[in-house]
Amino acid sequence: MTQNDFRAEVEGAEELDRSLGRFADDIKEMPDAGTKAGQAVKVRAASLAPKDTGALSRSIRADATGAEVTVGTDIPYGPYQEYGTVTVPASPYLRPALEAATAQIVEAYTGEVETKLGQVKGA
């Protein structure tokens, strides 16, 4: 070792490395945040959906599986309401719901990341 060399030993580095590895695995899939995000969009979409019989509004579902969140309906005319047709103007309800719920979505994911970071040992 020369005069300009520096040597340091970090206690707990192996535990920190393992903990960070678990954190990296955990944030690949955040089911709690996905569920909260999906519900935020679903509630807004249901309130924005055109209501004649109310079937479209009641049919809107949110599913969070792994890192994927899906909000939509299985009613065949749902896409026609969202995007319109040659003869029927669009009455968007899903895209505006997503836009309106952006802050809640960010908050859900930020909260879950912060919780998981708090569980990192050695940091």
- Global pTM value: 0.77
Domain coverage including residue 95: 30-118
The answer to whether position 9 is within a domain reads no
Nearest to 72 by CA among 100, 34, 46: 46
pLDDT for position 55: 97
**CA separation (Å) from 7 to 1, 10, 11, 27?**
9, 10, 13, 33
Residue 83 lies in a domain: yes
For the segment 29-46, what is each residue's pLDDT rounded down to a tens digit? Answer: 788 889 999 999 999 999
User: Element (H or E) spanning 44, and its range?
Assistant: helix 31-48
* 92-109 pLDDT, tens digit each: 999 999 999 999 999 998
Q: Is there a domain that residue 13 lies in?
A: no
Q: Does a structural domain hold residue 20? A: no
Q: Looking at the domain assignment, is residue 12 inside a domain?
A: no
Q: Tell me the sheet residues that pair with 71.
A: 62
Domain total in the chain: 1
- Residue whose tokens read 């579902």: 61
Burial of 26: CB neighbours in 10 Å, binned 0-12, 13-18, 19+: middle
Instruction: Tell me, yes or no, whether 113 lies in a domain.
Output: yes
